Amino acid sequence: MSFFGFDAMLARDRGHSASAPGFGQTPDAFAGLGGGVAGDDDAIDFEDTYDGLGDGLDETDDAFNDDTFGGGPASQQSVGKDFDFAGQTSKIAHTLQEEQMLYQTQQPPSHQQRPPPPKPSKPARTGYESYHDPNYIPQLEARADIWGLKPKHPVPAKQPENQAPPPPQPAKKMMSLEEVEAMIRAQTLQHEEPAPVLIQPQQAQPPPLPVHPHQQVPHSQPHFPGIPGQGQFVPQILQRPQQPQQPQQPQHAQQHGPHQRSGSRHQQVHAELPGHSVQAPPVHHPTILQRQRPPPNEPSIQQHRHAPPQPTAQRPASQPRQILQNPSRLSGQGQPMAQPGPPASRGPAPGHSRGPSYPSMVVTNPEQLLHLSKEEREAFLAEDAKRAKRNHKIALLSKDNGLMTPQDKNFITRIQLQQLMTATGNLNEQTPEAAIAEDFYYQVFSQIRGALRQTPHQPASQFAQTYLFQTNGRYGPGRRHGRGADNHMQRMEQQVQRAVEAAKAKPKAKQLTIEGSLGKISFSNSKTPRPLLSMKRPESTDKQPSKPHKVSVADRTETLRNIENVYMTLMHMEDHERTLPAPINQDSDPEAIQRHMEWRTKIETLHKKLWDDIKIMEPINPNPLTPHPFIAILSHAKGKKAIPRIFRHIDEQERITILTMVVIHLDKLNVVSHGIATPEEPLSPALRDEIELFLHSVVPPLYAHIFESPLNIIIGLLGLILERNNVHVVARTKIGMSLLIMLISRAELLKQPPEINVVDWENWTELYNRLFDAVEPILPLIFPGSINDTDDMYVWQFLAAMGVGASPEQQQRLVIGVKDRVMETVGVSKALPPEMAGARLANVNLFMRAIGLDVELLG
Amino acid sequence: MLIFSFFKTLMNQEVTVELKNEVSIRGTIKSVDQFLNIKLDNASVVDELKWPHMSSTRDMFIRGSVVRYVHIPSATVDIGLLEDATRREADKAKAGTA
């Protein structure tokens, strides 16, 4: 069906028109007139209809542009208001739908008629099939294909093509006004002729949009108060109203005449309106997923654009369009039009077929473009292309927009914030407790070692107490080395010295004979043959206690677990101590008192738990196969280290209990039972470490306690040692000896004050004698190493302590027992450098002075 | 996070960072973050002959995941405190799972 006898030379146009507006082609405003209908190629064969008028367009003659575009004479009236299709339609969309429904019910036949005339074979292409279904609800979004968009364009391929053709095409494409009119006239004629075929024009309609150049502005739909009849009508037959609008009113009348005259036809149009009304929809967008947004926008964009294409070179139009198409592709619309005709190769005809492509022009004001120079136009087009690309990218990127709901986003944000908080939040949280809980090591470490605290009463001091002084020695080489140990040894030494001084202060009547007669004093030895007799006993019993020490794995695990429990309780107590509420007084409010009470209750609970944890109250089995749980705890390094901390939290009575426990099991302690060293068989390094650790961690608190104990407790403890332990073992180990030193020297000091309890003192003397008798046989063995072993200070201290309390007769026996060692040490020290010699001689002298002598005398 | 807490105490300490690719770098810790990324100042490669190309770099930022060992001066570690911190960490983890 050829309306104008269009040039049919281009076979490709077929394909192109099938999919509506050509991609990248120069827009031809009047192409739609020729029947280049989107998605409707079946209904109208473009080639058949194209009359080639487009070729005759004189592009250079712009004389009538004003008329055409409404600039001048073409007044509002002449232009008419019938172009605001979408706006008008949207206003009455529901009316249209109602009308359609009404019509459908009333005139089913005519409705059905419609498809057959154009091309029954491919009704699917019309795009109106949906409306056959009475229940059909139009899509609530703009259909890109209505605007002749083609979704799939091989973008790159087109551009080159577009650029090549420009020069020739412009001439062909621009139809003169006369031509347009002619076309219109022809069209209307044809419309009228085949009454039943009315649909043709309608189908041709989609492209028409571009035809309205002046309408870019108007396209803001709402502006035009539609004349009901026309308004409804217009959307469908976009082209028609416009064509007439031009100078020739008569034709206008002509055109309309036919349309309105045929009632049935009119109704048909109505029937289709709903479909158009659907276009109006920008309104609906909001409800649509974001991703689909691009498409809805298209129509309006296109509308704005289609004007320019006419005036400008056609090539430009193609570029912008690519943008538009991408979005449309996303929306899934316009698929049917996917086939872009090969625009470049097109001869004259193409221009017409491309009509629908106008929409792609980006220029908002057509006149602008008109007045642009070629260069400017190029620039503009290049920019357009850029924008197209960008839009395309945006479309791609926005593909997944809206996948996450706001709730999802909030959720993610919350998680991220939480992570930030945990990563950096500690610094902000100013509650020290929270910081300590999260960052214990760093907080405490920096408090202990960091800059001096500003106030001496900060909680840091507690940490310092807990960690700084508890286990030094070799465990904290970085700290004041072995401070606690030195402290302890010094205090022990001081105590011994004080005892010695005190002893010297009281004149001892029978001591005079000894002076200067070290070598000859042996006469008193005749009275006491005992040493020789008892020599063997220690040998036989020496290694006895080592047997029960074998500990099963289960016991060991149990012990370790006990220790860990102790530590956890300790830490809970320490944490709790930091939360000590402000001290209360009479004026405190009840709440504070309440808090204090709670605190006290809690700390007492923890205290009790700690006491249970150390297993100290487990019954003592006189002949145990396994060591007492508390002693087992002490056999582990970390168990030993816990003792000073435990002592800080327990009361006096409990300290005595622990002390007693240790004393009772003295020879069961591995540091004692395995701690006997001989010159031939020195201790293993591991054991030496154990002993050192014990000395540094366990002994000091015990010592501190002994140092304050009254004589009766000392007596009790010494008694326990003598009764429950193998004194020979105890006396030959560093730990045992240290304990003995503490007890004896403490007793010596207690002897000084006037308030000596006579009974106690007698008890003590008796115990001392027992001890002396027990120790005397092993006096030659108490030195752990050879004469060159310098670690014998504690032995000299022990001898000094013994010597202070000894009777003259006992002192002589002491001297006899260690005489060789004394002489050797003095001899060795002569060969040593002065410093070392001085140290060793000082040790010896400690003992010598205790018995009223001096190494000088030996000189 | 104990290990992070621990590394924070090593600030401005001279350490040797041994990487998983066998490179060892000695330097002063300038900062450590929660990923145990380490920033070293005055850094130098321990085996300059083997890794000569590293010798020109003085300041380094080492991604935590490539570190195999960090050798630290023992004097900078408070063992008792570290033990307790470990206990707390373990206790917290236990409380967290239980």
ipTM: 0.84
Q: How far is CA B30 from CA A540, A620, B26, B64, B72, in A?
A: 63, 56, 12, 14, 14
- A567: tokens are 């530590």
pLDDT category of residue B62 using cuts at 50, 70 and 90: very high
Q: Facing residues of B67 across strands?
A: B19
What distance in Å separates the CA atoms of residue A387 and residue A355, rounded to the nearest whole number?
Answer: 22
Task: Please list, in sequence order, all residues whose beta carbon lies within 8 angstroms of the beta carbon of residue A723, skipping any fewer than 6 positions away.
Answer: none
Q: Do B75 and A477 touch (CB under 8 A)?
A: yes
| Chain B residue nearest residue A443, CA to CA | B5
pLDDT of A387: 93
- A19: tokens are 């999919």
Tell which wins on pLDDT, A545 or B66.
B66
Pick the residue of A445, A568, A646 with the most B CBs within 10 A to test the interface with B by mutation. A445
Which chain B residues have a beta carbon less than 8 Å from that of A445? Answer: 9, 78, 81
Residue A477 near chain B (CB below 8 Å):
yes
pLDDT of B18: 94
Q: Do B85 and A441 touch (CB under 8 A)?
A: yes
pLDDT of A663: 86
Q: Do B80 and A564 touch (CB under 8 A)?
A: no
Tell me the average pLDDT across A361-378.
68
Closest Cα partner for B49 from B13, B86, B23, B18? B23
A366 has pLDDT over 70:
no
Which chain B residues have a beta carbon less than 8 Å from that of A476? Answer: 78-80
DSSP 8-class letter at A777: G
Residue A448 near chain B (CB below 8 Å):
yes
pLDDT category of residue B65 using cuts at 50, 70 and 90: very high
Tell me the average pLDDT across B27-53.
90
pLDDT of A671: 83
| Chain A residue nearest residue B76, CA to CA | A478
What distance in Å separates the CA atoms of residue A255 and residue A230, rounded to the nearest whole number?
Answer: 13
pLDDT category of residue A534 using cuts at 50, 70 and 90: very low
DSSP 8-class letter at A308: T
pLDDT category of residue A558 using cuts at 50, 70 and 90: confident
A652 has pLDDT over 50:
yes
Map residue A241 onto helix, strand or coil. Answer: helix
Question: What phi, psi does A523 have (nearest 5°)?
Answer: -60, -35
Mean pLDDT across chain A? 65
Residue A483 near chain B (CB below 8 Å):
no
pLDDT of B61: 93
pLDDT category of residue B29 using cuts at 50, 70 and 90: very high
pLDDT category of residue A551 using cuts at 50, 70 and 90: low
pLDDT tens-place string over residues A469-500: 554 433 333 333 334 445 666 666 777 777 77
Q: Do A437 and B9 touch (CB under 8 A)?
A: no
B37: closest CA of chain A, how far (Å): 13
What distance in Å separates the CA atoms of residue A663 and residue A702, rounded to the nearest whole number?
Answer: 10
B14-19 sheet: strands from edge to edge = B60-62, B38-45, B24-32, B14-19, B67-71
Which chain A residues have a beta carbon less than 8 Å from that of B87? Answer: 564, 567-568, 571
Question: What phi, psi does B11 have (nearest 5°)?
Answer: -55, 135
B66 has pLDDT over 90:
yes
A706 has pLDDT over 70:
yes
Closest Cα partner for A55 from A207, A172, A182? A172
Going from N- to C-terminal start, the domains of chain B cover: 2-97
Helix (H) or strand (E) holding A300: helix A294-306
pLDDT category of residue A276 using cuts at 50, 70 and 90: very low
Which chain A residues have a beta carbon less than 8 Å from that of B9? Answer: 441-442, 445-446
pLDDT category of residue B67 using cuts at 50, 70 and 90: very high
Q: How far is CA A65 from the centre of its chain?
A: 66
B64 has pLDDT over 80:
yes
pLDDT category of residue A59 using cuts at 50, 70 and 90: low
Of the partner residues B33, B34, B80, the one whose CB lies closest to the CB of residue A470? B80
Across A372-386, A515-529, A660-674, B57-71, least confident range: A515-529
pLDDT of A140: 59
pLDDT category of residue B24 using cuts at 50, 70 and 90: very high
Contact A192, A258 (CB under 8 A): yes
Q: Do B81 and A423 touch (CB under 8 A)?
A: no
Task: Please list, in sequence order, all residues whose beta carbon lies within 8 angstroms of the beta carbon of residue B69, skipping any fewer than 6 positions away.
Answer: B17, B18
**Gyration radius from chain A CA atoms:** 56
Tell which wins on pLDDT, A57 or B30.
B30
What distance in Å separates the CA atoms of residue A290 and residue A783, rounded to the nearest whole number?
Answer: 92
Contact A5, A49 (CB under 8 A): yes
What distance in Å separates the CA atoms of residue B18 and residue A73, rounded to the nearest whole number?
Answer: 87
pLDDT tens-place string over residues A779-820: 877 787 777 666 778 888 888 888 887 888 888 888 888 888
Helix (H) or strand (E) holding A821: helix A808-831
A471: closest CA of chain B, how far (Å): 7
pLDDT category of residue A33 using cuts at 50, 70 and 90: low
Interface contacts A/B by beta carbons within 8 Å: 67
Q: How far is CA A48 from CA A7, A25, A152, A183, A587, in A?
A: 7, 20, 26, 14, 110
Tell me the average pLDDT across A196-203.
44
Q: How far is CA A159 from CA A149, A311, B42, in A?
A: 17, 20, 59
Output the CA angle B77-B82-B88, nearest 5 degrees: 165
Residues from B in contact with A at Cβ < 8 Å: 1-2, 5-6, 8-9, 33-34, 73-85, 87-89, 91-92
pLDDT tens-place string over residues A64-92: 777 677 655 545 555 566 666 777 677 77
HSE-CB for A238 with a 13 A CA cutoff? 35
The CATH number assigned to the domain with range B2-97 reads 2.30.30.100
pLDDT of B72: 92
A57 has pLDDT over 60:
yes
Phi-psi map region of A836: left, alpha, beta (phi>0 left; psi -120 to 50 alpha): alpha
- A697: tokens are 């961690």
pLDDT of A378: 87
A654 has pLDDT over 80:
yes
pLDDT of A422: 66
Task: Please list, in sequence order, all residues whose beta carbon lies within 8 angstroms of the beta carbon of residue A759, skipping any fewer than 6 positions away.
Answer: none
Phi-psi map region of A727: left, alpha, beta (phi>0 left; psi -120 to 50 alpha): alpha
- DSSP of A671-695: HHHT----SSSPPPHHHHHHHHHII
| Chain A residue nearest residue B86, CA to CA | A441
Task: Please list, in sequence order, all residues whose beta carbon lies within 8 angstroms of the beta carbon of residue A116, skipping any fewer than 6 positions away.
Answer: none
Tell which wins on pLDDT, A853 or A723.
A723
Across A32-41, A699-708, B76-85, least confident range: A32-41
Contact A259, A200 (CB under 8 A): no
SS (H, E, C) chain B: CHHHHHHHCCCCCEEEEEECCCCEEEEEEEEECCCCCEEEEEEEECCCCCCHHHCCCCCEEECHHHEEEEECCHHHCCHHHHHHHHHHHHHHHHHHHC
- B51: tokens are 């890794």
A348 has pLDDT over 60:
no
Closest Cα partner for A52 from A1, A6, A2? A6
Contact A73, A67 (CB under 8 A): yes
Tell which wins on pLDDT, B68 or A816.
B68
User: A 524-583 residues with CB below 8 A of B?
Assistant: 564, 567-568, 571
Q: How far apart are the first and last CA of chain A?
A: 145
Contact A715, A759 (CB under 8 A): no
- DSSP of A433-482: HHHHHHSHHHHHHHHHHSSPPSSTTSTHHHHIIIIITTS-GGG-TTSSTT
| Chain B residue nearest residue A472, CA to CA | B80
pLDDT tens-place string over residues A400-442: 888 888 888 888 888 888 877 766 554 544 566 677 777 888 8
Of the partner residues A441, A477, A567, the one whose CB lies closest to the CB of residue B74? A477
pLDDT category of residue A259 using cuts at 50, 70 and 90: very low
Tell which wins on pLDDT, A684 or A447.
A684
Q: Do B78 and A445 touch (CB under 8 A)?
A: yes
pLDDT of B26: 93
Q: Do B5 and A442 touch (CB under 8 A)?
A: yes
pLDDT of A454: 46
Across A112-121, A657-666, A682-691, least confident range: A112-121
| Chain A residue nearest residue B82, CA to CA | A441
Tell me the average pLDDT across A256-274.
44
Question: What phi, psi does A561 have (nearest 5°)?
Answer: -65, -40
pLDDT tens-place string over residues A132-165: 666 666 555 555 666 655 554 444 444 444 444 4
User: How many other C-beta atoms lie within 10 A of the C-beta of residue A11?
Assistant: 11
Across A564-573, A580-589, B80-89, least confident range: A580-589
pLDDT category of residue A28 using cuts at 50, 70 and 90: low
pLDDT tens-place string over residues A603-636: 889 888 888 888 888 777 766 667 788 888 888 8
User: What's the pTM value of the predicted model, to 2 decimals?
Assistant: 0.49
Burial of A287 (0-12, 13-18, 19+ CB in 10 A): exposed
Q: How far is CA A684 from CA A148, A545, A687, A688, A733, in A?
A: 97, 18, 5, 6, 14
Residue A427 near chain B (CB below 8 Å):
no
Helix (H) or strand (E) holding A794: helix A793-805
Phi-psi map region of A623: left, alpha, beta (phi>0 left; psi -120 to 50 alpha): beta
HSE-CB for A793 with a 13 A CA cutoff? 15
A579 has pLDDT over 70:
yes
Map residue A50 onto helix, strand or coil. Answer: strand
